Every structure is written in structure tokens, then in C-alpha cells.
Amino acid sequence: MILRGFTVLLIFSASVSLMSCGNIGNKNKESGNSDSLQSSTSPAIQSEPVDGFRIRRYEVALFELNRNELAGELKKLQPEFSIFLGEGNFSQADIRQINDFVSDANNREAYNMVMKKFPDLKKLTLQLKNAFDNYSRETGQELQPKTYTYVSGYDFQYPVKYADSVMIIGLDLFLGRDFDMYKKMGVPLYISNRFTPDHIVPDCVKEMAYPLIPEKQGTYNLLEAMIEQGKLMYFTSRILPDVSKHLIIGFEPEQLSWCKNNEGNLWQFIIENELLYSSDSKAMSMFMVDGPFTSSFSDQSPARTGVWLGWQIVESYMKRNKVSLITMMANTNSREILEKSGYKPARK
């Protein structure tokens, strides 16, 4: 179920998907002095460092360049932003595509709104640095990915991308639930509710957690899907102990309250209908797929209630067993996790 199909090389193509700009080069080692790219009047293309960690702002670098000298300007950007620009061997078609992307009215509006919402990244830099430090302490594995922000062209599927120790954050996907473009593009409210600045760091941590879970071969049953997603939620809550649980799972506060009040009813529905070990698509759709609510239950319920139940199982398992976080994440035996969790919520 967890298939993070993109790699670092595919991130560029996603960033220009609105204008069909393809990947124009391979990743190479970054070099050069980013200060030389910055004029005295332009917004900063990187955040102020926190204990050596900084965020590089590709959206600023790209949208503030001189489009009349695009080829030369891109050459200057390439050493600092090779993750997006590859080796810098730009064809005329590449130049035209990039020019179309930065000239597009929707993309420029997105950039302008990003700069209003995120004039600097001081808060985000500190939050991410703390999250990386917590990750290293909890897992025993040092982690401080090279981190970039950009305007993605509304790549709704992957607001945050993480691969090969590189984190890329599409700030145009965190402009607030009421951002007009989300409505114009027909994004459902249950999705745009998660497009807020408060969701950035939890989304980043969840992406960091994916590689710790072994990829399953074959078809998932409902329990396996629930446990896998529950691991992500539990892991994120451990790394971000001060972040509200509704932000971690992407629910509204009242939806989380509904889950708590109906936990036993949800569980009993799954057991009584023999869905726990079912790979039936209807069961997966009912409990694991995004939507306005969980079918067969109140329209006050959230969708993805199976994710929340999986979180409760994993949390119970960790409370009852002396197991490290890394060991739990690597455990592929979902039935064992359930059995050792002692999870049996009472119906209300």
C-alpha cells in the first residue's frame, strides 16, 4: 500500500507538471556559493541557518530571475539547485518550458501568495531542525536531509517529497484551506483542509518514516494496511510530541473526537463483517481511502478511519511491549502486532 514511486530525479518533472516541463537533467553534486545568486533587493533564496541547517528556496531563485536572460540565469542557479536543474545542459525547448512555467499566471499567483504567507522560513527551519534532531534521537540514525521549498504547480498528490536524503516541500500546497485557487481547481474541502502551514512538518516526518517500513510484496489485507498506516502516525507522534494528533492524521478536531467516541463501534463493524483479514476493495475503500466521511457511518465521521484504528493498535502494542521504535517499524507481522497489542475497544 505504501508505494513511494518517485525518486529524486522525478521531482523536477512534478514541479513543472502544470506546464508539462519534463526533467531536464540528472542530479549531480551541488557546489558553488549561493550568496553570488542573491541581489541586494531580492528575497532570500535560503533561510537563516539553525545549527548548520538551512532551507534552500528554489521558488525564489526561479521566479526572481531575469527572464530576458533566462539561459544565463539558469546556469547561475544550477550549482545550488542541481536537484531541479540537473547538470545545466539546457536545450532551447527546456528554456521555453521553464519560461512558460514561470510566466504562467496561476504559477505567478501561487508564488506571490507563497511569499506573502512565507516571507521567511525562520519558524519552519527551526521546526524541521527539531524534528530531525528528534528523529536521530529516537532512531539512533543521524538525519538532516538537504531541504528545499518550491512552487510545485499544484502537485496535489505529493505536497512533500523525500528521497535520497533530499526533502522538497511544495509551499503552494500549504497556503491555507481557504486559498481561492484550491476552490477554483475543484479540490475537495476534506483535502484542502490539510493544506495549511501547520501540516507541513507532520507531512515531512511522515515522508521520512516511509523508508523505515519494509515494502510488502503482494496484496494487502485490511489489517496490514491499517497497521502500516498506523505505524506512520505513531512514528510521527513520537517525533513531534507537541503537535496535535488531528494535524498528524489530517483530521479536523471534531472528526478526531468522533473517532474516539466511536472507536468500539468501528472495530466491531470490522470484526462482525469479517473485514479484518479481507483484501476486498470495498473494505479498503471504506476504511483506508480518502473522502468526505466513512460510508456506513455518520457523515460527521472522517474518511480513513482505518488509519486511526491502526494508530491505536500500534500505540497499544508499544505500550505493552518493550520494543524499539525502529524494531516496530520493521516488523512486517501485522497479526503479531495486533495480538500483542491487547487491543479490544469496547462498543459504546
* Tens of each residue's pLDDT in the chain, 348 residues: 544 444 333 334 434 433 333 332 333 334 334 443 444 456 788 888 899 999 999 999 999 999 999 999 999 999 999 999 999 889 999 999 999 999 999 999 999 999 999 999 999 999 999 999 999 999 999 999 999 999 999 999 999 999 989 999 999 999 999 999 999 999 999 999 999 999 999 999 999 999 999 998 899 999 999 999 999 999 999 999 999 999 999 999 999 999 999 999 999 999 999 999 999 999 999 999 999 999 999 999 999 999 999 999 999 999 999 999 999 999 999 999 999 999 999 876
70: domain range? 8-211
Q: How far apart are CA 202 and CA 54, in angstroms?
A: 18
Shared domain for 135 and 60, answered yes or no, is yes
Shared domain for 61 and 200, answered yes or no, is yes
- Specify the pLDDT at position 18: 34
Last residue of a domain, one of 186, 211, 236: 211
Last residue of a domain, one of 176, 211, 246: 211
- Specify the pLDDT at position 226: 98
Shared domain for 296 and 251, answered yes or no, is yes
Residue 197 lies in a domain: yes
Shared domain for 181 and 309, answered yes or no, is no
Residue 289 lies in a domain: yes
Shared domain for 189 and 246, answered yes or no, is no
For 150, the grid coordinates are 518550491
Shared domain for 306 and 236, answered yes or no, is yes
Residue 83 lies in a domain: yes
247, 198 Cβ separation under 8 angstroms: yes
Length of the chain: 348
Q: How far apart are CA 126 and CA 118, in angstroms?
A: 14
Residue with cell 502500516: 228
**Residue by residue, what is the 3-state secondary structure of 28-40?**
CCCCCCHHHHCCC
Shared domain for 274 and 323, answered yes or no, is yes
131, 240 Cβ separation under 8 angstroms: yes
Residue 346 lies in a domain: no
- Specify the pLDDT at position 49: 87
Shared domain for 16 and 113, answered yes or no, is yes
- Specify the pLDDT at position 347: 77
Shared domain for 329 and 257, answered yes or no, is yes
205, 135 Cβ separation under 8 angstroms: yes
Residue 319 lies in a domain: yes
Residue 1 lies in a domain: no
Q: What are phi and psi of 278, to 5 degrees?
A: -90, 140
Shared domain for 70 and 16, answered yes or no, is yes
Domain count, the chain: 2
Shared domain for 230 and 191, answered yes or no, is no
> What is the C-alpha radius of gyration for the chain, rounded to an integer number of angstroms?
22
Shared domain for 193 and 260, answered yes or no, is no
DSSP lists the bridge partners of residue 57 as 149
H-state helical runs in the chain:
8-15, 58-63, 70-77, 82-85, 92-103, 105-117, 122-139, 180-184, 189-192, 200-209, 222-239, 245-249, 253-261, 263-272, 281-288, 305-320, 325-330, 334-341
- Specify the pLDDT at position 28: 36
Last residue of a domain, one of 187, 211, 235: 211
Residue 174 lies in a domain: yes
6, 14 Cβ separation under 8 angstroms: yes
Residue 95 lies in a domain: yes
- Specify the pLDDT at position 41: 52
233, 215 Cβ separation under 8 angstroms: no
Among candidates 258, 257, 287, which has minimal Cα distance to 270? Answer: 287
User: Residue 316 is which amino acid?
Assistant: S
